[in-house]
Chains A and B, each alone.
Chain A
């Protein structure tokens, strides 16, 4: 009964075309010599040149990379500690509430998290800038890291650490020598995921960035609102390439973390 009927083939073909064609067109038209979006004027790297000579885009890209790196590192730390607490501390009081609050940024609409965090910074009289965006991205990313690391921790045999203890290792030594190496791929996957999420976010950054801390997506967004232009095609293509590299790396690492030695 494992027939692959024409209907199924059509569903798959349509599905993949629906998902990929729009992105493909953006990439193709980024190499278009013509300024018109619907007319092919020959192959050209003109728009990439325009992009790389635009200080506004370069500055925004530099902001985004800084924010992404710091936020992803913080998110990995917070998410991993949270996952360890949820898997290693047994059924402590308030465990469900703690899990719910850690995961809330994943479920809450971004406009709410954005407004809420901005109100916090305003009430505390904290000036908005790169650091405030890093904080909100770390909060957001930590939820995703927690899910990834927890999945790995649940599959990890606790007897391994116990065996290390029996053989004379202290609790910290056993953790560092047994659990941490086993977690490394999941940690790397979580970091890359948090970095990608940070690099992709418009809404949270729009709320909490200061005048001197515009990120790349925020810059692109304001350009898109004014209308489509070939430079945006070029910058999109670069971002697609960058994010694809990160995502493929993250998914390979994650796969290895789940299938690796148990």
Chain B
């Protein structure tokens, strides 16, 4: 490797080291400290020449019901929303593959476009729809379907709906890619052999698209677990997720070591799904 070529690597490597690697190591370090009323607001890792690390934050994480509930909520809501994304994603992606060939690029563009219109605004739009005096309740009351407004916002339902809505385009694209790569002859053969189109879809199309479906699921599940804005705006006090707990520890309680321990836990939680996703993507690139 010539020095000039090494120059290519120098700047991005240095930047990543300083602004990604060092910060992540700092989190790990501070997660073993204790909060204190000082500047900086945590105890040093070494005191009087001896290692003063302590596991208190981690043991509290695994004992305190507050953190366990946040963990459970994160996994539950992210899991449910992932399931919704996959079901809707399969139906919509399949419909796109069945549309006339000339339409497909336009349809895909239409599906991706809302993903780029501000994330915050799309979540905000749902508040206007879901709240007690919002449009959905106004419509249902006006039609006489319900007598009292439904509680839709500040609930787990709101969080799952908001996450499904925000991440759906992410799920549709990989599923579409794996469906579009399949020969239609395979389903035709199944139908010739007596399967109904629905049965052919479940027995032939879906199993063949499994890597794409798995990739889509991980791609939406990973960011959902750490989501902050959606549960904060559409959820309530009973639906607190890990990202929010981290935020509260950091900003409201000023317990930086606890926030760091939560960040480490969240990273560990997502490490296996992220590595599986990377392997799936690499596998697809190799094919």
Chain A residues close to B by CB (< 8 Å): 1-5, 7-9, 11-12, 15-16, 18-20, 22-23, 25-26, 29, 37-38, 77-79, 81-82, 84-85, 88-89, 92, 98, 100-102, 104-105, 107-113, 115-117, 119-120, 122-123, 135-136, 138-139, 142, 171, 196, 199-200, 202-203, 207, 217, 220-221, 224-225, 228, 232-233, 236, 239-240, 243-244, 247, 251
Contacts and interface: CB of A to CB of B under 8 A. Distances in A.
Given A22-B122, A247-B116, A12 B107 contact: yes
Nearest to A248: B113
Give chain B's interface residue range (CB within 8 Å of chain A). 35 or more
B128 A228 contact: yes
A22 to B, nearest CB: 4
Contacts of A251: 109
A15 B13 contact: no
Interface of B: 1, 4-5, 8-9, 11-13, 15-16, 18-24, 26-27, 30, 40, 88, 91-92, 94-96, 98-100, 107, 109-111, 113-114, 116-122, 124-129, 131, 133-135, 138, 165, 168-169, 172, 184, 187-188, 191, 222-223, 225-229, 232-233, 243, 246-247, 250, 256, 259-260, 263, 266-267, 270, 274, 277-278
A109 B18 CA distance: 19
Nearest to B278: A100
A221 B124 CA distance: 9
Given A139-B20, A203-B229, A15 B92 contact: yes
Contacts of A101: 16, 20-21
A200 B99 contact: no
A77 B14 CA distance: 13
16 contacts: A1-B184, A15-B88, A15-B95, A19-B165, A22-B122, A82-B12, A98-B16, A108-B270, A109-B266, A112-B226, A113-B23, A119-B256, A138-B15, A200-B118, A200-B120, A228-B127
Nearest to A8: B95
Contacts of B128: 22, 25-26, 29, 37, 228, 233
Contact of A120 (B19, B120, B278): B19
Given A85-B8, A203-B229, 14 more contacts: A1-B187, A19-B114, A22-B126, A89-B8, A98-B9, A105-B20, A108-B270, A119-B26, A139-B19, A142-B12, A217-B120, A220-B124, A224-B233, A232-B124
